[in-house]
């Protein structure tokens, strides 16, 4: 496993003491950073749990103008040099056992550097629509992740996102200037026309200009299924592929291998183009 020290945005790589993680928010303010809308105490609790129990990969601390946040890096034993940013769903962490951990580990096993980012979160019980307040914080975290991948891989770079992470990715990647991302795999995207996410009319989604995989389960959430049906009818101005996985729910429980196969196959297809 590669262990390297980077400047500024990558504070360090390795294990951190529990008391330091608990003081994450205070630590950031000590660096003169602006206040984050994310629940930094919750992020600190997640970070403590994840680092203490981490089995695959190494923790990497990244820095934006607002926060210092956790990410998890898995280095493939061999591969093509491509990198993936993995974005989790609402209110969870970058090693979540459903969808996120299976993808970040399995895709590394087939040659990808994977970097799973802690996204901004709100307190438990906060409805998804309130996550709109966190959208401005997402792109800086993606940019920090890309800077790390630029230093550790040869590229190209893709984003693989689940649930609210998919919504956040769409908003971040439609902002200007464009980011050096070759494609976007969206899993269980709840926004889009007919959905109940943060893009109810699909206006933001329609501004994407990079290849997109739109993957959802046959037994997915109602808003996801409704939104996917509407998005399939869009007059797409970009490379668009939609896949419905038979029998799968929103978390692809019992269908992890099929999930990995679809995402990996799509990524390899785009890598070859």
For residue 151, pLDDT beyond 90: yes
Which of 90, 167, 150, 152 is CA-nearest to residue 126? 90
pLDDT value for 31: 39
Q: What is the length of the chain?
A: 273
Phi, psi of 101 (to 5 degrees): -60, -50
- Note the pLDDT tens digit of each residue in 163-210: 999 999 999 999 999 999 999 999 999 865 544 568 877 889 989 999
Percent of the chain with pLDDT over 90: 64
Taking phi over 0 as left and psi of -120 to 50 as alpha, with beta for the rest, 219 belongs to: alpha
Cα–Cα distance for residue pair 159/174, rounded to 1 Å: 13
Pairing assessment for the beta strands 68-74 and 10-13 based on DSSP bridges: unpaired
Residue with tokens 């959802």: 216
> What one-character-per-residue DSSP string does 59-108 give?
EEEEE-SS-EEEEEEE--SS----EEEEE--TT--TT-TTTHHHHHHHHH
* Mean pLDDT for the chain overall: 85
Strand partners for 113: 83
Secondary element (H or E) of residue 265: helix 256-272
- Note the pLDDT tens digit of each residue in 14-48: 333 333 333 444 344 333 345 678 888 899 998 99
- Note the pLDDT tens digit of each residue in 105-134: 999 999 999 999 999 998 888 877 888 889
User: How many C-beta neighbours within 10 Å does residue 142 have?
Assistant: 23
pLDDT value for 198: 82
Strand partners for 70: 61
**Chain-centre distance of CA 157, in angstroms?**
13
Chosen CATH of 10-272 out of 3.40.50.2300, 3.20.20.10, 3.40.50.1820, 3.40.50.300: 3.40.50.1820
pLDDT value for 203: 85
Question: In the chain, what are the domain boundaries?
Answer: 10-272
Which of 110, 112, 185, 181 is CA-nearest to residue 153? 112
Cα–Cα distance for residue pair 9/68, rounded to 1 Å: 8
């Amino acid at each position: 496993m590669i262990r390297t020290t980077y400047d500024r945005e990558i504070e360090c790589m390795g294990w951190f003491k529990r008391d330091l993680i608990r003081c994450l928010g205070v630590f950031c303010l000590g660096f003169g950073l602006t206040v984050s809308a994310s629940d930094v105490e919750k992020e600190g609790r997640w970070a403590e749990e994840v680092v203490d129990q981490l089995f695959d990969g190494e923790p990497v601390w990244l820095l934006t103008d607002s926060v210092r946040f956790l990410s998890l890096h898995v280095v493939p034993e061999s591969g093509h040099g491509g990198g993936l940013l993995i974005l989790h769903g609402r209110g969870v962490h970058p090693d979540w056992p459903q969808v996120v951990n299976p993808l970040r580990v399995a895709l590394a096993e087939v040659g990808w550097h994977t970097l799973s980012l802690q996204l901004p979160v709100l307190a438990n019980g906060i409805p998804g629509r309130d996550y709109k307040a966190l959208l401005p914080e997402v792109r800086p975290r993606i940019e920090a992740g890309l800077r790390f991948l630029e230093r550790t891989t040869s590229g190209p770079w893709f984003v693989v996102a689940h649930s609210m992470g998919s919504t956040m990715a769409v908003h971040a990647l439609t902002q200007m200037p464009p980011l050096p991302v070759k494609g976007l795999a969206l899993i269980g995207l709840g926004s889009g026309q007919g959905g109940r996410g943060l893009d109810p009319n699909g206006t933001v989604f329609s501004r994407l200009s990079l290849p997109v995989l739109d993957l959802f389960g046959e037994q997915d959430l109602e808003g996801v299924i409704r939104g996917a049906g509407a998005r399939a009818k869009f007059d797409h101005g970009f490379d668009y592929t939609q896949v419905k996985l038979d029998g799968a729910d929103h978390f692809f429980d019992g269908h992890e291998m099929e999930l990995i196969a679809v995402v990996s196959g799509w990524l390899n297809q785009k890598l070859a183009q």
